[in-house]
Every structure is written in structure tokens, then in C-alpha cells.
Structure 1
Amino acid sequence: MGSLYFDIETASVDVLYTYGPGFCRLAAYAVDDGPVVVTADMDELCEVIMAADRIWAHNAVGFDLAALEHWHGLDVVTLVEQGRVRDSLILARLNDPPLPGKADARRYGLDALGRRLLDEGKVASDGASALKTLAAEHGGFDRIPLDDPMYRGYLMQDVELLRAVSRFLACDAYGLREHRVMHRLSQISRNGWRVDVTEAQRRVASQELRTAGLRDELARRYGLPTEGKAPHRTKAGIAALEGAFEACGVVPPRTAKGALATGKDALATLLEDRSENTALRELCELLLALNGQRSVTQTVLDHTGPDGRVHPSIDAGQSTGRISVTKPGLTVMGKRDRANVLERSLLLPDEGEVLVAFDLSQVDARAVAAHCQDPAYIEAFAPGKDFHSEMAVALFGDPGRRSDAKPVTHATTYGMGPRGLAMTAGIPQIEAEKLMRTLDVRFPGLAKWKQEIRREAERGFVFSAWGRPMRIERGREYTTAPASLGQGTARDVLAEGILRLPKWLVPCLRGIVHDEIVLSVPADRADEAEAAVLAAMQFEMRLTPESVPVPVLADRSDRGSDWTDCYRSEKPKWPEVSTTHRSQPDCDEPGCAWHRDGKE
């Protein structure tokens, strides 16, 4: 069979993995230039798909094929590994790469592609999507009658639009690789991540009590209103706070537009020269505490399905291809803040398993080294050497100034100039200029490469080591070109590690955050799993046969009984990171975020 173009209508995308049988409701497909066929028989559709030489769908890997794989047993692994799948969303982003930021986020829907390439969009009703109109009319996507003419017409038009759009989308070797990468990552969504629901509910209740207490304190002391989610941001609340600041003897802090400023930076600036003003400090601390009430726990609960798991969405929509995880967002669960890291403890391994995290070591800088081929820069990554210590020697002649060298090396990886380095490192610009000159003298190959890649970026694109095209906005080549090369190649290094994982470990994937992946592995196979993941993620990066290779290394976390517990060794000064410490009824550890905040 030739090329197949298909689309399916389903229940809400939010219940893809938890809805149950009947999630896939109606399908339409066409072969080559043939007529569009509509069917409610998903087994029929799966047979047609398996017989096709090329399978086209929009967001095929992330949704359509994923739904058929999960609910109807479609062998998507074989289709992807054989290079038969063509996902128009993946290919559109590779054929017409997005700009950095979120400006292009809406350019890659099938409707947007149709309008841009064909001047033709989807069926609309009163300015809204016909499908959304039908869902609103019938009380849900899963309640639209299968014989509704508009429903069927909308579906058939999607197939026709897909077929027309596909003629503009080329698929090269990198495109085929990207399909394999995204299918493996889609298993994170499919399998989900077990949530400690009881603990999450307890934290939300505790948080609500703390928030109520803070509001009462602000109301009692400063006359702040107590109604609504953010009373301190209402007109009456702002007036009360302005009066409170004046009562403390200071002019209320303002934003550039003149509004009352109650953010962390504004309050910190206000307190800098007024440390003796006790009343002001108390007011600022109350506001900081109120502003600091995070909603991450509630967000996790909101996205927890009836199976007690979150099934996050995986997307590669960033300009460099870096992976975003949302619903819930994992990147907001940081580990640089003592209280923040405890948010990760809500995510658990499967029963009888442990969580293990693997983080690529200085991968952006290694990617730059592989590209620039500067011998001295590559030598800084030699086995047994610490990159930042080596850079401290190159810059200051002192390996002990490792922490001073870090912002400089990050600056060069991200293409910063002296002004950017000065702001990042908190040093005078004249000192930053001197450091940048020293860097260029020590690593002339790196300096030459940055200039060459900036000139190359003037044509509008640069390409990662594996061949990913990345758009560079005109006028921003100086910083964006080196940064995109480093980040885009680092992303492809991580993708290479994921592709090298043994098949039995792919269903163990639970999360991906920047250059780190998290797996839930059987406790009795943990040694085997750790060795296999490290073997997959560690290799020599050689961009051409003549290039000097750069070693790619990865760090392994502790085995954790929750995600936070994985970082016991990494955070020795924060005992609450350990599940064992959190299980104690109390502790005398100064600043313990768990026993201070976790048990009210």
C-alpha cells in the first residue's frame, strides 16, 4: 500500500491514558489520492495502518498513534523503527524551525499550517473550531453523535488538509531519527508517574491553613481585606499596603509603570539599606511569605488521574528542540532551593521499584568543544579533570577559583559578551572584558569558531551536530548562534542516549528535565539498569571522522524511594532530602524545610 493519511476523533485529550475503552471514537483515512473513508472500527484502521508504506497524521507520535497504541494495541514501535511514520507536526518544526521563545507556539497546528501553506484552514462555526462548538453543544467531545454531519465533515476535512500539507514537508535522516526519539519519550506520558496522593492532599490543606494565617495577620496589622485569592493585589489591598509601607516610614516601592511593587526583588532592594527598620522587615517578610505560596502541589493533584498517576505531556517545540514536560510541569520542581526540592517527593517509583536519575555532565560546554575543536578546550574535558577547575587555571591561574570561573564558562557557552558576563557574574564590565580577552587568548579555536558561527547564522539558521536546523533571529546572531549550537547539540546528545537505551528500559522512563532523565526500575535489577543507562548515555562525541572526540559523561543519583530522595548525596547539607529524615517525628536541624513547613 502507498501513503496513508488519517485522523481520529476521541474523548478529551486530557484523558488519553485514563478514559477507558471507547476513547477512540471515529476515524477517517485516505490512501494516496483516493477518497476519504470514515469508520468507527478502530481494528479496521489499525489493519490499514499496518499495511501502509507511509503513515501520515498530525501529532501522530504524541497523540493519534499513541491512542491507537494504548487502547487498540497498534504496533507503533515497528512502524517508527521501520521509518514508515510521518508526523506533520514534527516535520513542520524541522522544515520551518520556530524562533526562540513562545512567539511561534501557534504556528504548527494543522489549521495554522493549512492557512500558511495553502491559504485554507479548518471548518469553523461562529469564529470557533467546529469541533469545539459541537463539544459544547453536546456536553463533551465524547458525546458528539458519531453520525453528526458536521462531526464527520470536520474529520474528513482534516484528512484532506493533512494530505495537502504533507506535500510541503520533507523528511530526511534527522527527521526519521526525531520520530524515534519522540516515540521513546512518549512512553513517559503513556506509563505515567505514580503520585503520593495522600501526601499531596495533606500539603494542600496545610498550605491553605498557612495562607489563611498570613492573610489574617496582614488584615489584623495593616487592615488588608481577606476576601478573594489575592487580597493584597485588589484595589483595597494595595491601598492598605501603601499605608502599611508609609507607617513603616518608607515610600511604597513602585514598578517602572508606577504600580505597587511587592515582588521578591523589589522588597529585597527596599530592605538593603533599612535593616534596622524592624516594622518594615516584618511587613516584607509577611508579603514574601504570602507571595511564596506555590501551587505546584495543587497542580500535581489536578493532573493526577484515577489511576493515581500523572501522565505529563511531552513536547519538543522549543527552538533548539529541548524537551518540555507539562501537565504537570517538571521543570518548576527545582532542586536548587531547600524547600522547592521537596516538591519532587510527591512523585514515587512503582511498587517494588526505585527511582534513579541520570544527568549529563556539562553537556552544553562539551557540545561547544566538539564543534570548535580547540585542543586546549577539549583537553579540559579529559578523563580525571574537572572542567571548571581547568577553566579557573586558564583564567586565573588558580584551580581554587572554580566558582569564579563558572559564570565565565557559562557565558562563553551561551555566547555572551562582556556586558552580559558582567551582569551574570556581578562584576564590573571592565573586568568582564579582561576575562573575555583572556579566554580568547587561552582558547583561540573557540574564539574563531564563535565568530564563524555568528557569520554563518546571518543566513538565518545553524545546525546541531546531528543536523537539527535552528532558526536565528536577524540581529541576535552574537549570542543566539553559539547558544543554539550548544543547547541544540546538547539536546541531541541526550536524545542519542535515549535511543541507545535497551528496549526493556524504555517503559521505565518517568521524567526528563533539561539534561536529566529519571527512571523507575525494579529494585532487584537496579544494578543492571544503572549500568545499562550509563553505557547508553556515555560515549565519545565525534562530529566528523577527522574530529577529535569529546567524552560525554553522566552522573548517577542515589536510588530513591521518591524523586527528592534521589539527591541525598548531592545535597548533604539538606537532610530533609532523605526519606529517612522526613520519616522522623521531629529534628533539631537548623532550617530543615520539612519539619519547619511540612508538618503544620
Structure 2
Amino acid sequence: MSAIFFDIETPDADELYTYGQGYCRLAGYAVDDGPVVITTDMDELCEVIAAADRIWAHNAIGFDLAALEHWHGLDVAELVEQGRVRDSLILARLNDPPLPGKVDARRYGLDALGRRLLGEGKVVDDGASALKKLSELHGGYDRIPLDDPTYRAYLEQDVELLRSAASFLACDAYGVREHQVMYRLSQISRNGWRVDVAEARRRVAAQESRTVGLRKELSDRYGLPTDGKAPHRTKAGIAALERAFEACGVVPPRTAKGALATGKDTIIGLLDEHPENPVLRELCALLLALNGQRSVTQTVLDHTGPDGRVHPCIDAGQSTGRISVTKPGLTVMGKRDRANALERSLLLPDEGGVLIAFDLSQVDARAVAAHCQDPAYIDAFAPGKDFHTEMALALFGDPARRSDAKPVTHATTYGMGPRGLATSAGIPQGEAEKLMQTLDRRFPGLARWKQEIRREAERGFVYSAWGRPMRIERGREYTTAPASLGQGTARDILAEGILRLPEWLIPCLRGVVHDEIVLSVPSDRAGEAELAVLSAMQFQMCLSPDAIPVPILADKSDRGADWADCYRSEKSDWPEVARDHREQTRCHDPGCVWHTGNNEGGRTDG
């Protein structure tokens, strides 16, 4: 059985799909125990890869194989489907799972992996990466001479590091499946998502104009200084902003020491607390701009390539394996408020197509039900029943209290105790304790499972239904263990749906947000696509042959002329979500953020 270990040197990684021919500059590879071969012939490399039984690279799916697939026609789909690819980034995360949060984000680069496993890392120059030094010296990664000896030594050592590290990385059936999942999701990056560039530029210009006007208004009305790079941080500027917050009807936010707080997290928190306060939104937008924060629209433009598309990065670096989409981030384009929802309208279907979103229904709770096997809890998901209504009956004996039941069931899914539930639901802790006790009495199998999984987590790991290992930090088993099981299995349910999609729909994938996928499909095949995706995402989940099955269900959105337009029925009380409404010249809804200009550049002709 032959194995190839390879790495390629390229221009900037962010230009993977936009740079053009010549992107793959230099390759290094070794077959089995043979010497490292350095070549500029990518056809030669592709031939060696195609002939190998095992193909090793670090971030192979997300970068190296993706580059060879896009620019040199390598059939990566076949290699992945045959189980021949070994991506050391994917396997490092499965062999040595990360902790929750971003604390472990830097542990999985090839340099960090080499130092952890082998005690040696990459070539450095005065403590900095030799490759970065070469880029700075020559004015870019694509300007480094191909015959530069340091460049070649750096590449050769990468191959040697990879080959040595590979012997420590096992790949089981879940690992093979994970390669298939990530390959399918990588097509989101490859195909990209079409951007309404003209509209994005109009909004940025409108926002800049409004920012100038607002600064002048703040200066005229409240005395905000206009000189210097950070006038809002001067003594006079702080006093002016305090008056401005008060004029918005908001108590000026404070730090723990009592100073005015204007950081990003504080400002976003204010917006979450006061979503229907357009004057505050304008003030917060100005503060974010003054703090150097890029608007969502500007960020989308920054990542739009010459092809008029964004090619976002897809990663599964979270502890539960949940997918993150960055450059630009799709999760920040939420549906929390009316203006926020319109950020999605910048992303369009392909010409002649429509966008359709598919969202798994209560998937975290269904994942917990499949694990705990409590018959009464599983029955709440039976066809024709609404889960939250069933929980309201179980907790309060009143189906009308559906909204009151939601925080309790979410608390169960995420492993909260009474204190966490009290905070989440805004109720006294004593009431939260009684609700949790009622829940345990009604669903003893669920209560027993939570205790079992917490004990299991004391060993440091729990495993999703498909077998994904998830690390649990010591001392945090109570909340983290049930939450990780629910979220990790929910992620693998979504992955299962993606694996079940027919081949013709894979190039149609455009985004993943939490438990939702978005596709751009030809208009004349929209009905066929809807049936195929729902068939893929909906199935009966059984952890074992004798387990009680749990139905996995999904909802589909409207067919949208842009991403926001997909939710026009769901957000029917927000008319501006519909593209048809935005194309009208006038609107008499005083809350419409498009026609009143209360968003990041909405029109003001009504």
C-alpha cells in the first residue's frame, strides 16, 4: 500500500478561488519512505496522488486538494469517496479533540502539531515563520523566487513534519465519514455565493454619508469633538456620548469601574436589548465605525472576488464539530431584528435560480431524545404533535403556555441547572427548581440519562451518536456533557442529511448556519430540489436496532430572490424582508426599516 505525503506553496490562501492560473506555485511530496521531491509540475503531482492508496496533507480538504481540484482538475471527489484521503487537520481534531471555546484554536496547525507530537516545528527566522519573512522580503507569497533555498527547505520540512505526524493519527470509520462530509461542504467555498455588489456599494456609501451627518449632529447637539482619530474617547467626547445615550432613552452603559462602555460587545448587547430603537441603532453604528468595526455590508464587499462572489471558509473546529462559515461570517447575518435580517438580502441565487433554505426542526432536542430513550419524551416528537406544546402540557398542564415551556426544554437540552434556567427564563431560582423537578418526574429516562452522561464525562470525553469524540473540561461535566451530546449529535444529523443529498445538488450548496443549509437551485428544478433535500434531511434516527426511533424533520423556506426573501412568510410582519416590497417606491408601515432608512442603507423615498 503506497502513501503520498504532500504540501503546496501558493499565493495568499484567501485567493484560492480568485487568483487565477499559476496559483499552485511549488509542490513537495514524498512516497512512502522515499526522499522529498520538489516540483513545479502540478500535473506530475496529480498523477502521483491519483496512483496512491493513501493521500496525506494538512488541511487537505479545505486547501491543498481543493487547489489541485480547482486549478488542475484533480478528481478529489473520487479520492474522498474511496476513503483514500487522510487530512491531518481533520484527524488531529478527532484524535485529540479541542476544548469548548477558542482556547485550542491554535493547537492544530502543522507547526503546533509537529511540536506537540514530535517536539519540532517549522523553519523559523529570528522567531518568525521563514515563509512569512520571505513574503515580506519579496513583496508577497507569489513573488518568492521558486529556486530560493529557504523556500524549498521550508516546503521540504513541511512534508517531513507531515509524514512523521501521520504515524500518530488514527482514522476510524467516523474519520472516513468526516472527510466525506467536509468535502461536500467545501464545495460551498469552491462555487461561492453571488453578491449584489451594486446594492452593497450603495449601502456602504449611504452608511458613510449618514455617519458623517450623525457625527456632525452629535457635534451640534451634544458637543462631540470632531478633531482627532478618536474624539469619542476624549473627556468632552465621553460626556457628549452620555448625553446622546440619554436622548435615545437608554441608560449610558458602564464598565465595572463606572466608566462609559463603548466596546463592541457592549454596543451589540444594547442593540439586542433595544431592537426597535432606530435612533439608538444609528448611534451604535457610529460608535462601531469610530471603533474601527467594519459593517456587515463592508465585510461582504471586502471578501467579494472579481467573479462577484464570496468564497467563504468552511471549518469544523468547534468542540462539537459544528460548522463555522467565515470570510464573510454568515452566522452574524441573523434574523434577530428587522434591520439585521436585511443583511441577508445582499446574497443572491445564481442567474436563473432561486435560493431555498432548509432548517432541521428542534434537532438538538431530538438528538437528546434519541440518546436518552425516554418513551414519554420521544412521544412528544410523534407526528402531528408540537414539541413545545407537549412540554407545556407536561410542565404546566396547559398547552397555551408553550412560550413558557421553551426555556425549560432548552435548559434540558443544554444541561442547565436551576440557576441557569432562572437566568435564561427570567424567573426566581425556586420556581426554576420546581420546574426542573417536574421535568424529571415526567421524564425519568431523560433525568437518568443526564446523570449517566455526566458520570461518563468524568473520563474526559463523550461521543455523539455517530461516534464523534468531544472533550469535556474537568469540573464542567454537569452542563457541558449533555449540551455537547445534544449539539454534537445534532451536527452529525445535519452531516447525515448532507451526505444523503443527491450528487446534482452538491454544487448548489451555498451556506450552512447552525442547523440550516441554503441552496441555489435552477428555478425550473426548484420543486425537484425541495423534495430531494427534504428526503435527505428527514429520516428515522435509531442508535441501535432495538432503540425507539426518533423522527428527524426539516422545514423549507420560501423560494427567494435573495437570502432575506426566503423568509418572507416566516417574517410576514416584517414586510421589508420580501424583495417585492423592497422594490416598491413607497411604504406606509412606520416600522419598515427599508423605506424609513433605519437599516444599514435602506431607501428613504417613502
Sort the TM-score into its range (normalised by shorter chain). Answer: over 0.9
Shift of 1:357: 0.3
Instruction: Check conservation: 1:320, 1:470, Cα contact below 8 A.
Output: yes
- Counterpart position of 1:429: 429
- Counterpart position of 2:337: 337
Q: Distance in 2 between matches of 1:446 and 1:303?
A: 45
Go from structure 1 to structure 2 and tell me whether the alpha carbon gap of 1:228 and 1:501 turns closer, same or farther (over 3 Å shift).
farther
- Counterpart position of 1:70: 70
Q: Distance in 2 between matches of 1:240 and 1:189?
A: 45
Q: Distance in 2 between matches of 1:587 and 1:251?
A: 32
Go from structure 1 to structure 2 and tell me whether the alpha carbon gap of 1:202 and 1:372 turns closer, same or farther (over 3 Å shift).
same
Shift of 1:546: 1.0
Q: Distance in 2 between matches of 1:102 and 1:541?
A: 31
Go from structure 1 to structure 2 and tell me whether the alpha carbon gap of 1:252 and 1:13 turns closer, same or farther (over 3 Å shift).
closer
Go from structure 1 to structure 2 and tell me whether the alpha carbon gap of 1:528 and 1:245 turns closer, same or farther (over 3 Å shift).
closer
SS in 2 for 1:569: coil
Go from structure 1 to structure 2 and tell me whether the alpha carbon gap of 1:227 and 1:410 turns closer, same or farther (over 3 Å shift).
farther
C-alpha RMSD over aligned residues: 2.2
Q: Distance in 2 between matches of 1:269 and 1:353?
A: 34
- Counterpart position of 1:274: none
Instruction: Check conservation: 2:348, 2:355, Cα contact below 8 A.
Output: yes
Query: Are positions 1:290 and 2:286 aligned together?
Result: yes
Number of aligned residue pairs: 591
- Counterpart position of 2:350: 350
Shift of 1:227: 4.3
Go from structure 1 to structure 2 and tell me whether the alpha carbon gap of 1:30 and 1:283 turns closer, same or farther (over 3 Å shift).
closer
Query: Are positions 1:538 and 2:534 aligned together?
Result: no
Equivalent residue letter for 2:439: L
Instruction: Check conservation: 1:253, 1:270, Cα contact below 8 A.
Output: no
Shift of 1:589: 1.2
Segments of 5+ residues of structure 1 without an aligned counterpart are 272-280
TM, length-normalised to structure 1: 0.95
Equivalent residue letter for 2:213: G
Shift of 1:265: 8.7
Query: Are positions 1:599 and 2:600 aligned together?
Result: no
Q: Distance in 2 between matches of 1:344 and 1:249?
A: 29
Q: Distance in 2 between matches of 1:285 and 1:338?
A: 12
- Counterpart position of 1:33: 33
- Counterpart position of 1:44: 44
Instruction: Check conservation: 1:4, 1:49, Cα contact below 8 A.
Output: yes
Q: Distance in 1 between matches of 2:568 and 2:278?
A: 34
- Counterpart position of 2:364: 364
CA displacement, residues 512-559 of structure 1 (integer Å, 9 cap, x when unaligned)? 000000000010011111100000000011011111010000000000
Shift of 1:579: 0.7
- Counterpart position of 2:302: 302
- Counterpart position of 1:392: 392
Q: Distance in 2 between matches of 1:227 and 1:374?
A: 65
Equivalent residue letter for 2:254: R
Segments of 5+ residues of structure 2 without an aligned counterpart are none
- Counterpart position of 1:188: 188
Shift of 1:388: 0.3
SS in 2 for 1:455: helix
- Counterpart position of 2:129: 129
Query: Are positions 1:19 and 2:15 aligned together?
Result: no
Shift of 1:194: 0.2
- Counterpart position of 1:457: 457
Instruction: Check conservation: 2:271, 2:281, Cα contact below 8 A.
Output: no
Equivalent residue letter for 1:419: R
Go from structure 1 to structure 2 and tell me whether the alpha carbon gap of 1:266 and 1:387 turns closer, same or farther (over 3 Å shift).
closer
Shift of 1:205: 0.5
Q: How does 1:429-508 map to 2 (within 5 A)?
A: 429-508=429-508
CA displacement, residues 127-159 of structure 1 (integer Å, 9 cap, x when unaligned)? 111111111111111111100000000000000
Instruction: Check conservation: 2:223, 2:236, Cα contact below 8 A.
Output: no
Identity %: 81
Q: Distance in 2 between matches of 1:221 and 1:235?
A: 16
Shift of 1:336: 2.1
Query: Are positions 1:568 and 2:564 aligned together?
Result: no
CA displacement, residues 52-111 of structure 1 (integer Å, 9 cap, x when unaligned)? 000000000000000000000000001000000000000000000000000000000000
- Counterpart position of 1:324: 324
CA displacement, residues 308-354 of structure 1 (integer Å, 9 cap, x when unaligned)? 00000000000000000000000000012111000000000000010
Go from structure 1 to structure 2 and tell me whether the alpha carbon gap of 1:283 and 1:336 turns closer, same or farther (over 3 Å shift).
closer
Shift of 1:232: 2.0
Shift of 1:235: 5.1
CA displacement, residues 476-518 of structure 1 (integer Å, 9 cap, x when unaligned)? 0000000000000000000000000000000000000000000
Instruction: Check conservation: 2:248, 2:280, Cα contact below 8 A.
Output: no
SS in 2 for 1:589: coil
Instruction: Check conservation: 2:310, 2:328, Cα contact below 8 A.
Output: yes
Instruction: Check conservation: 1:253, 1:266, Cα contact below 8 A.
Output: no
Equivalent residue letter for 1:489: T
Instruction: Check conservation: 1:188, 1:312, Cα contact below 8 A.
Output: yes
- Counterpart position of 1:111: 111
TM, length-normalised to structure 2: 0.94
Go from structure 1 to structure 2 and tell me whether the alpha carbon gap of 1:283 and 1:469 turns closer, same or farther (over 3 Å shift).
closer
Go from structure 1 to structure 2 and tell me whether the alpha carbon gap of 1:440 and 1:248 turns closer, same or farther (over 3 Å shift).
closer
Instruction: Check conservation: 1:218, 1:286, Cα contact below 8 A.
Output: no
